[in-house]
Amino acid sequence: MLMSKILIIEDEPAVCKLLVYNLEKAHYQTWVAQDGVQGLSAALQWKPDLVVLDIMLPQMDGLEVCRQLRQSSAVPILFLTARTEEIDRVLGLELGADDYLCKPFSMRELLARIKAILRRAAPLPSAPSPTFQMDPAQRTFTVHHQPLVLTKLEFDLIAVLMTHAGQVFSREQLLQVAWGYDYFGDTRAVDSAIKRLRAKLREVAPDEDPIEALRGIGYRWKAA
Amino acid sequence: MLMSKILIIEDEPAVCKLLVYNLEKAHYQTWVAQDGVQGLSAALQWKPDLVVLDIMLPQMDGLEVCRQLRQSSAVPILFLTARTEEIDRVLGLELGADDYLCKPFSMRELLARIKAILRRAAPLPSAPSPTFQMDPAQRTFTVHHQPLVLTKLEFDLIAVLMTHAGQVFSREQLLQVAWGYDYFGDTRAVDSAIKRLRAKLREVAPDEDPIEALRGIGYRWKAA
DNA sequence: AACTCTCTGACATTTTTCTGACACAAAACT
DNA sequence: AGTTTTGTGTCAGAAAAATGTCAGAGAGTT
């Protein structure tokens, strides 16, 4: 499973910001909806892998959102509650919450629970088919769903670039991030690594060339 | 589901008493084990639907109990921890904890989590590769339905790899999980074990080679 | 055209894994 | 108890893979 999509339905901007920041740092894609109506719409169209749902929402409350969502989707839901008592209503209604957290919660705990929920969720046939896909956890990389074997260095390199698609990295930066902070050597090593990577990619996707060289600046993964 | 069976592995009598009282009031059957050895024995014989496992135990700690239990059972485990940091070790090792609670916890929360775990506990599809099959409960391993005799170490190793097919394990991780937390030795021992395992597999399935070495990373069971 | 930077292939070096031999320990058997 | 068998860690060298270095060709820029 790669780059799981997490929909956040939460009205407090501060909490949203915190969630988005940490989830994206953990390599999840995020989408924020500020109220229940927008949340339902986003859930149905964007088809997230997990919904983080605040119980207290303006207009339509989280329980109602959950009930309506359940009529058309089995997406896992993690509830956020301000008070412990609220969760009794969720559990009592058997709405199919997969987990819940009471505010205030530690980010580590949230991430652990999200990871656990996603691990449990059966790998359903996901629709989108970008040509290049990377799974940091399994260290696998696929092109058109066909696995491509990469060396450690190659994978580390492509991981940095892909997870920051569009961002330019200088050779020095790449050495730091993919080789390691204690590495001292010619920055031309980066050229060689890129060369080998491109050669492998060309084998299976001759018309793509997703790694762009910016003269005098560095390299970047072509933005989507 | 009628009268789910819950095994409590916990050494503090006060906590045990509290747990038993409340769980039985909630119509669960309970069984208490005061230390890891008794716990393992009870788990194997009584076959509970859920194990509540304290991390801090005399003699054998909870993680070790979990590891040994996982060799022969897929029963859901809910960890109890005194400190939040401890849970990182569990999560880090991916030992298959289904949930955890930090002391002190409210009884209502415990009951809610237990209910959630039991609700989720759907029979796993367990899709073994057609050629290789492993039964943790009986510690048997078959290739093309023909039994293959493995040593304890070999079985532990293959069990870890197969139950996490596709996931890469470093030599250090494998030493921890298959050899034991207290083992200190050269990580090259892993190479040797893998070598012997491969030799045995080659005898009966010369064209498979399901154990993949990832240079600089570790080993993994070829993903399905 | 001159200059600069990037790309590529060849080669050398380094790193990592694999294998067989051996030694020791534990277990099984007499 | 002694003996054999089995299991496993350690070691050293072989084999394989990965990667750094270099030099020249190629491409972009002024």
Per-residue pLDDT of chain A (224 residues; tens, 9 = 90+): 457 889 999 998 888 888 888 887 777 888 888 888 888 877 876 778 899 999 888 888 888 888 778 766 778 888 888 776 666 655 544 555 677 787 777 787 888 888 877 866 644 333 345 788 888 767 889 888 788 989 999 999 998 898 888 888 999 889 888 887 677 778 899 999 999 999 999 988 888 889 999 988 999 998 66
Secondary element (H or E) of residue B25: helix B13-25
Give the side-chain half-sphere CA count within 13 A for B125. 6
What's the whole-number mean pLDDT along residues B127-152? 78
CA distance A152 to chain B (A): 6
Residue B190 has pLDDT above 90, yes or no: yes
Coil, strand or helix at A69? helix
* pLDDT band, residue B132 (cuts 50/70/90): confident
Determine which of B214, B215, B220, B222 to mutate to test the interface with A (most A C-beta atoms within 10 Å). Answer: B214
Task: Give me the amino acid identity at B80.
Answer: L
Quick one: pLDDT at residue B73? 76
* pLDDT band, residue B224 (cuts 50/70/90): low
* pLDDT band, residue B194 (cuts 50/70/90): very high
What crossing angle do the helices spanning A36-46 and A62-70 adopt, rounded to 10°?
Answer: 30
* pLDDT band, residue B126 (cuts 50/70/90): very low
What's the whole-number mean pLDDT along residues B3-8? 88
Q: Are B211 and B161 in contact (CB under 8 A)?
A: yes
Percent share of chain B, pLDDT over 90 = 18
CA distance A145 to chain B (A): 14
A97, A105, A23, B99: CA torsion to nearest 10: -50
How far, in Å, are A8, A65, A115, B152, B201 from residue B206 at the CA level? Answer: 50, 55, 37, 23, 7
Quick one: pLDDT at residue A96? 57
Specify the higher pLDDT residue, A90 or B194.
B194
C1’ C21 / CA B218, Å: 25
What crossing angle do the helices spanning B107-120 and B13-25 adopt, rounded to 10°?
Answer: 60
Mean of the per-residue pLDDT values of chain B: 81
Strand D atom within 7 Å of B171 CB: no
Percent share of chain B, pLDDT over 70 = 84
Question: Distance between CA atoms of B39 and B97, rounded to whole angstroms?
Answer: 16
Question: Distance between CA atoms of A72 and A69, rounded to whole angstroms?
Answer: 6
**CB-nearest partner of A138 from B91, B115, B167:** B167
Residue B207 has pLDDT above 70, yes or no: yes
Residue B13 neighbours by CB under 8 Å, 6+ apart: none
Measuring CA to CA, which residue among A77, A86, A76, A65 is closest to residue A11? A65
Indicate the pTM of the whole model: 0.53
Residue B89 has pLDDT above 70, yes or no: no
Closest nucleotide over all strands to B213 (CA to C1'): C17
Residue B211 has pLDDT above 90, yes or no: yes
Q: Are A54 and A62 in contact (CB under 8 A)?
A: yes
